[in-house]
Amino acid sequence: MILYDQTNQIFHLQGLTFSYILSVYNGVLMHMYWGKKLPEGDHAGLFVLSGEAASFDPPCNRHPREVLTQEKGYFGQRSLNLINTHGDDVLSLRYEGHRVFAGKKKLQGLPASYVESDAEADTLEIDLRDALTGAAVTLSYTVFHDFDVLARSMVIRNESDQPMTLTEVQTSVPLPMDDYEIIHLKGAWARERFAQRIPMPQGTFSISSRRGASSHENNPFLALVKPHTTEHGGDVYAMTHVYSGSFSASVDVGIDAAPRMMMGLCSDVFSWQLEPGAAFQAPETLLTYAHDGLNGLSHRMHAFIRQRICRGMWRDQSRPILINNWEATYFDFNSDKLVEIARRGAEIGCELFVIDDGWFGKRNADNCSLGDWVVNENKLPGGLKTLAERINALGLQVGLWFEPEMVSPDSDLYRAHPDWCLHVEGRERTTARNQLILDVSRKEVQDYIIESVSSVLRSAPISYVKWDMNRNMMEGFSAALPAAQRMETQHRYMLGLYRVLEEITSAFPKVLFESCSGGGGRFDCGMLHYMPQTWTSDDTDASERVRIQYGTSLIYPCSSMGAHVSAVPNHQTGRTTPFHTRCNVAMGGNFGFELNLNKISEEELRCAKDAVATVKKLRTTMQQGEYSRLVNPLTSNGRSAWQFTDDERVIVCIYQDYASPNPQPWHVKLTGLDENVVYVDEAHGLRCSGGALMSIGIPVPRAWQDHESWIYCFEKA
Ligand code: GLA
């Protein structure tokens, strides 16, 4: 609901459990409040702005403005910076008007949250304008009736007859002075999204990606929590970017000791020429407040991402159990070898066989052929159609790997179009994994990708695509742009990529798309808008995966995480973990296999078959139920537990890194159950009230080996 108090010019945005309040004060849009839901009423008297002004700290420095620009002595970090034709960047935005309407508009060229009917949400648009320069901004706020997330975005317009240059575009939110801690998701390739929790500094904390992808290193997610906040209680203020390119996010503590949270484009790799009459659409940011701890944050974000970021036929469907040949064969395969792996997959109940890298051009190693999306008939005689029909005959659907944004210097595409890659004339074109990045900001490159991928998908019965992207941008500039606009390349690349994804996913609506970037290097709401799942990490080691999936689950739903059982010793860590543990951990996401099922023991094969049956029985709860974290492996000495709950059942997965002699007993306390309902887990002989399971918890059995794990499944009696 969006309430407007005309007398005091106060906007009160009411979500299911949060309130967000803005007011117009002397023409300036002020931020008044974000937090626990407030009742409708007159709060005006509480928003007293201190008029105190010291010569070094004029009011602009103290008062929490909604858009932070350089004016009248605001010295903090800015959320919007626009250099006008006079060469200065002073920007005095003043309120011009507003409107409230049912529904939500699309964002031009960008992924965003959406509504299925106008009755689902209300949107407030507020117009601000700088009288001197003609710079104008429209801020947009959408409140959903059934989801507890606030969607914010803005459009910046040049309403003058002179060009301007946009150099900073961030969504900022001031929070009241208080003690906070910062949570962010730090990582690297093969160890993505390890949740970090640190005290908020009296200064500036920032994370960013300049890589041209949201990155393995930092995820576009940031939360401020109170020091007492746990998984189950306490305040959380979180921001997420619906964008897949470079970004920055920060917490800037001003002289009032109050933090301002920000998230937006990374100004080191962004600037934009705003011509007279032109508009710039900033990416959307999602704001979530939870009073009920980190699980409260996750429940809100999971439901929202699953249903109002992800789209398409697969959004609400159970995801197929797949088997992927990458770690089973790498590049060394032919049709018969793939069919034999698929046959074993079919025998144990798998539903989809994914042909990973190496099926096209003359690609027998990672040093050639990206860009040449033509099947290698030496390896796959008769082409993809023949192979796909053989696999279909076994009862499996067929999936295919692409890396469409890339080009190998050793490829027909590169020989024909050497200027189609991102590069700087006169400098070495730095390769990574022997490849260059196509200049997806160019329309002809976008068209090439659309046509080359589409023609393969038309040529054979392909029902799943793994869309990979295996390096980051270096010399990341477009030769097609004039010098004054070269810094626009990264954002133009994202706009081009989003056009490509929109066209391909709409042309093949039945295909399940999974995005990947060397694992989870582009795991963000932008990609999830086009592809409802992401390959979480190239690291399939069960022990590492517990941590990776645990951190990822802070915001991303389990239905968005690819999770596979792979061979031991693990190819990324050399570690050996029990087969059932690899299965139990992979059940925390979209379950699959990434190993040669013909090379495992009979006992392991039986275990794999049991796991497939379990996933088929329980996957609606695991993929669409409510997911809660119970024990954090990063702070509990390698012990971990998580829980899935829906109306039918409660599933608990418990994991322990190390066995120890004479171990101290431990219990895993469940959450969110009905106190007085009796829950039964027949396999473990447990029959207990929800109250007891939450207050006493499941007694964890003694582990007689390292990397032990257990699955409990309770039904209501
Ligand atoms: C990336 C992906 C892997 C695999 C390889 C193929 O590393 O993350 O899963 O597809 O590419 O080259």
Residue 61 has pLDDT above 80, yes or no: no
Residue-wise pLDDT tens digits, 209-223: 999 999 999 999 999
Residue having the nearest C-alpha atom to atom 11 of ligand 1: 518
pLDDT the model gives residue 57:
74
Note the pLDDT of residue 627: 98
Given this model, what pLDDT does residue 256 score?
Answer: 80
More confident site: 57 or 369:
369
Pocket around ligand 1 at a 6 A CB cut-off: 326, 356-357, 401, 468, 470, 516, 518-519, 535, 538
Q: What token pair was written down for 563?
A: 């999770």
pLDDT the model gives residue 602: 97
pLDDT in tens, 258-274: 899 999 999 999 999 99
Is-catalytic flag, 130? no
Closest CA to 311 of 532, 535, 534: 532
**Given a cut of 90, is residue 329 above it in pLDDT?**
yes
Interatomic CA distance for residues 480 and 482, integer angstroms: 7
- For a pocket test of ligand 1, which of 468, 471, 548, 595 has the largest count of ligand atoms closer than 8 A to its C-beta? 468
Among the ranges given (73-77, 427-431, 612-616), the one the predictor scored with the smallest mean pLDDT? 73-77
- For 568-606, the pLDDT digits (tens) are 999 999 999 999 999 999 999 999 999 999 999 999 999
* Joined tokens for residue 594: 């990434």
CA of residue 711 to ligand 1 center, whole Å:
30
Average pLDDT, the chain: 96
Query: Which of these, 300, 153, 304, 146, lies nearest to 223 by C-alpha position?
Result: 300
**Ligand 1 centroid – CA 370 distance (Å):** 13
**Ligand 1 centre and the CA of 255: distance in Å?**
47
Q: What separation in Å is there between the alpha carbon of 401 and the centre of ligand 1?
A: 9
Q: Choose one of 191, 322, 538 to mutate for the ligand 1 pocket test, by most ligand atoms within 8 angstroms of C-beta.
A: 538
Q: Whose CA is nearest to atom 4 of ligand 1?
A: 326
Residue pair 138/127 in contact by the 8 Å Cβ criterion: yes
Say how many Å lie between the CA of residue 356 and the centre of ligand 1.
8
| Banded pLDDT at 49 (limits 50, 70, 90) | low
From the list 122, 148, 439, 538, the catalytic residue is 538
Strands (E) across 216-313 are located at 218-225, 236-242, 247-253, 259-264, 272-274, 279-281, 284-290
**Bridge partners for 645 per DSSP:** 626, 650
Q: State the Cα–Cα distance between residues 12 and 19, nearest whole angstrom.
A: 7
How does residue 53 score in pLDDT terms, banded at 50, 70 and 90?
Answer: low
Ligand 1: nearest atom to the Cα of 519: 8
Q: In which element (H, E) is residue 154 found? A: strand 150-158
Task: Answer for the pair 112, 100: CB distance below 8 angstroms, yes or no.
Answer: no
User: For residue 366, what are the CA distances in angstroms to 327, 437, 695?
Assistant: 14, 14, 53
Residue 51: pLDDT band by 50, 70, 90 thresholds?
A: low
Average pLDDT over residues 420-448: 98
pLDDT given at position 318: 97
Protein residue closest via CA to atom 6 of ligand 1: 357
Share of the chain above pLDDT 90, in %: 94
What per-residue confidence (pLDDT) applies to 37?
97
Nearest atom in ligand 1 to the alpha carbon of residue 366 is 12
- Separation between Cα atoms, residue 73 and residue 251, nearest integer Å: 20
- What's the pLDDT band for 254 if we cut at 50, 70, 90? confident
Distance 656 CA to ligand 1 centre (A): 29
Task: Examine residue 569 and say whether the peptide bond preceding it is cis (omega within 30 degrees of 0).
Answer: yes
Kindly state the helix (H) or strand (E) to which residue 304 belongs, with its residue range.
helix 293-304
3-state secondary structure of 221: strand
Nearest CA to ligand 1 atom 1: 518
Residue 323 pLDDT class (50, 70, 90 cuts): very high
Question: Is the pLDDT confidence value at 317 over 80?
Answer: yes
Reply yes or no on whether the pLDDT at 686 is more than 70: yes
Ligand 1, residue 518: give the atom nearest the CA.
8
Kindly state the average pLDDT of the residues 108-115: 97
**Residue 252 appears among annotated catalytic residues:** no
**19 C-alpha vs ligand 1 centroid, how far in Å?**
43
- Model confidence at 42, in pLDDT bands (50, 70, 90)? confident
Q: What is the pLDDT of residues 480-492, one digit of tens each?
A: 999 999 999 999 9
State mean pLDDT over 397-417.
Answer: 98
Kindly name the residue from 356, 357, 372, 468 that is annotated as catalytic: 468
Nearest CA to ligand 1 atom 12: 357
Average pLDDT of span 118-127:
98
Confidence class of residue 255 from pLDDT cuts 50, 70 and 90?
confident
User: For residue 312, what pLDDT is reported?
Assistant: 97
- Any idea of the CA torsion for 7, 149, 283, 447, to the nearest 10 degrees? -140
Do residues 214 and 173 make contact, with C-beta atoms less than 8 angstroms apart?
Answer: no
pLDDT for position 58: 73
Nearest CA to ligand 1 atom 8: 518
Tell me the pLDDT tens digit for each residue of 353-366.
999 999 999 999 99
- From 357, 435, 594, give the residue whose CB has the most ligand 1 atoms within 8 Å, as the site to mutate: 357
